[in-house]
């Protein structure tokens, strides 16, 4: 790891110039060596470069998680701010927070130090998943990551910001490491019976489905153990015939910012970017099926740290009505719920602004 204050543009055998002087290199002041091609951004973004240069913590690290060497990125304007690990959804959907987004969220990283981790099997950590890669192993990776951060930043609060699939890992890690985890925020909390549940079936019943789809849905509801193909079909129907995945009134995904972030990343290469969208984890139906069959209710009843669940009012992938009932009846005072109007399972532009504000208030208050 490059010592603080050193510069990848300076002579590697010396430290960076002392205060009051500087080299002429474009990356002077960046902490840690960028992992993009030739150590520079693929395309120029002067504002992003300025954010990285000003940040007291801005680097990538190689860490061993559950026996697998992986890359993470740390992104914080000021040293000493709370550490927040971004736990993306999927499996295999590292958006919008991924290793390639270092320097892209200055309003957020001005208050917290974000840790971006492309979970194994996607993004910069794409790789094959054999039979040993089950949910438990991904939880082990998460535990190893928070333990690593606890050693690296002793005394600094560590939180988890999770999305959908990531909420499985966050809930289990919070129960296993209550002495390390300060708090958890989960957007789109997985509970039980993912995809195949009465809330999804009722919403699809109200939708304008073609007769063929309605007949297929009736058959699936009668199955004791619906197949993986059935799971794919139901999720496709949620996306096509309802607003349960993406709300039409939430401004849509900020695709332009995401694409700009990926193309100007100092840590991604052009070969890495496709693995953000299509990767080994996203194609691992076995892993998704295991997540579908999980029941996290007992785990969440045992969570011993502040745990804020944020749901979109239109979410059907992790049905909000199901989450509301559970939180109300859980008896766990650490659990709280915030429902955002207009938001669905995937936040649009409007909801992302609200989510960012909630993260700052929850983690950095």
Question: Average pLDDT for residues 74-84, to the nearest whole number?
Answer: 98
What Cα–Cα distance (Å) separates residue 255 from each residue in 9, 96, 117, 189, 271?
32, 9, 20, 24, 19
On whether both 236 and 336 belong to a single domain, the answer is: yes
What local confidence, expressed as pLDDT, does residue 365 receive?
Answer: 79
Burial class of residue 266 in the structure, from the number of CB atoms within 10 Å of its CB (0-12 exposed, 13-18 middle, 19+ buried)? buried
On whether both 13 and 43 belong to a single domain, the answer is: no
Question: Average pLDDT for residues 2-15, to the nearest whole number?
Answer: 37
On whether both 205 and 343 belong to a single domain, the answer is: yes
What local confidence, expressed as pLDDT, does residue 44 receive?
Answer: 78
On whether both 137 and 222 belong to a single domain, the answer is: yes
What local confidence, expressed as pLDDT, does residue 43 receive?
Answer: 80
Does pLDDT of 190 surpass 80? yes
On whether both 232 and 304 belong to a single domain, the answer is: yes
Does pLDDT of 36 surpass 70? no
pLDDT per position as a tens digit, 157-175:
999 999 999 999 999 999 9
Could you tell me the CATH number of the domain that includes residue 128?
3.40.50.1820
* Residue 3 binned pLDDT confidence (cut-offs 50, 70, 90): very low
Kind plus residue range of the DSSP H or E element containing 322: helix 320-329
Domain count for the chain, please give it: 2
Q: What percent of the chain shows pLDDT beyond 90? A: 85
pLDDT per position as a tens digit, 259-270:
999 999 999 998
On whether both 2 and 87 belong to a single domain, the answer is: no
pLDDT per position as a tens digit, 249-261:
999 999 999 999 9
> Which residues neighbour 34 within 8 Å (Cβ) at sequence distance 6 or greater?
8, 27, 40, 41, 60, 266, 267
> Which residues neighbour 270 within 8 Å (Cβ) at sequence distance 6 or greater?
37, 42
Domain containing 167: what range? 38-364
On whether both 5 and 70 belong to a single domain, the answer is: no
Measured distance CA(111)–CA(290) in Å, rounded? 36
On whether both 116 and 18 belong to a single domain, the answer is: no
On whether both 26 and 42 belong to a single domain, the answer is: no
Burial class of residue 142 in the structure, from the number of CB atoms within 10 Å of its CB (0-12 exposed, 13-18 middle, 19+ buried)? buried
Question: Average pLDDT for residues 224-238, to the nearest whole number?
Answer: 93
Does pLDDT of 180 surpass 90? yes
Most confident of 3-17, 32-46, 95-109: 95-109
Measured distance CA(158)–CA(301) in Å, rounded? 21
Poorest-pLDDT segment among 30-34, 134-138, 182-186, 244-248: 30-34
pTM of the predicted protein model: 0.88
Does pLDDT of 26 surpass 60? no
What local confidence, expressed as pLDDT, does residue 41 receive?
Answer: 62
Measured distance CA(219)–CA(245) in Å, rounded? 23
What local confidence, expressed as pLDDT, does residue 215 receive?
Answer: 97
Measured distance CA(2)–CA(339) in Å, rounded? 43
Does pLDDT of 309 surpass 60? yes
Does pLDDT of 8 surpass 70? no
On whether both 302 and 208 belong to a single domain, the answer is: yes
- Residue with the bigger pLDDT between 241 and 28: it is 241
Measured distance CA(160)–CA(215) in Å, rounded? 42
Q: What percent of the chain shows pLDDT beyond 70? A: 88
Cis peptide bond N-terminal to 300, omega within 30:
no
What local confidence, expressed as pLDDT, does residue 22 receive?
Answer: 37
Query: Is there a contact between 347 and 355 (Cβ–Cβ < 8 Å)?
Result: yes
On whether both 165 and 200 belong to a single domain, the answer is: yes
pLDDT per position as a tens digit, 313-333:
999 999 999 999 999 999 999
pLDDT per position as a tens digit, 280-306:
999 998 898 999 999 999 999 999 999
On whether both 25 and 165 belong to a single domain, the answer is: no
Query: Is there a contact between 72 and 149 (Cβ–Cβ < 8 Å)?
Result: no
């Amino acid at each position: 790891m490059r010592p603080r204050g050193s510069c990848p543009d300076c002579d590697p055998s010396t430290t960076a110039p002392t205060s009051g002087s500087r080299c002429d290199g474009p990356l002077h002041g960046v902490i840690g060596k960028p992992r993009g091609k030739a150590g520079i951004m693929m395309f120029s973004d002067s504002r992003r470069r300025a954010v990285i240069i000003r940040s007291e913590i801005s680097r990538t690290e190689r860490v061993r998680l559950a026996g697998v060497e992986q890359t993470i990125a740390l992104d914080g304007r000021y040293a000493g701010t709370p550490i927040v690990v971004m736990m993306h959804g999927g499996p295999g959907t590292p958006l919008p927070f991924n290793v390639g987004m270092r320097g892209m969220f200055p309003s957020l990283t001005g208050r917290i130090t974000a840790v971006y981790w492309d979970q194994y099997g996607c993004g910069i950590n794409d790789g094959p998943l054999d039979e040993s890669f089950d949910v438990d192993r991904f939880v082990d990776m998460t535990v190893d990551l928070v333990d690593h951060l606890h050693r690296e930043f002793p005394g600094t609060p560590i939180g988890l910001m999770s999305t959908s699939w990531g909420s499985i890992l966050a809930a289990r890690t919070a129960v296993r490491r209550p002495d390390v985890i300060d708090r958890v925020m989960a957007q789109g909390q997985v509970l039980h019976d993912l995809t195949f549940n009465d809330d999804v079936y009722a919403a699809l019943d109200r939708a304008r489905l073609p007769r063929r789809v309605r007949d297929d849905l009736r058959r699936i509801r009668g199955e004791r153990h619906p197949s993986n193909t059935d799971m794919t079909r139901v999720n496709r129907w949620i996306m096509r015939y309802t607003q349960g995945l993406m709300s039409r009134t939430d401004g849509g995904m900020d695709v332009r910012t995401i694409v700009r972030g990926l193309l100007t990343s100092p840590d991604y290469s052009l070969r890495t970017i496709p693995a953000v969208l299509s990767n080994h984890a996203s194609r691992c139906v076995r892993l998704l099926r295991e997540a579908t069959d999980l029941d996290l209710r007992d785990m969440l009843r045992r969570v011993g740290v502040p745990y804020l669940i944020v749901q979109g009012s239109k979410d059907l992938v992790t049905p909000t009505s199901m989450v509301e009932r559970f939180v109300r009846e859980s008896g766990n005072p650490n659990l709280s719920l915030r429902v955002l109007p207009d938001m669905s399972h995937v936040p649009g532009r409007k909801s992302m602004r609200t989510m960012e504000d909630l993260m700052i208030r929850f983690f950095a208050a």
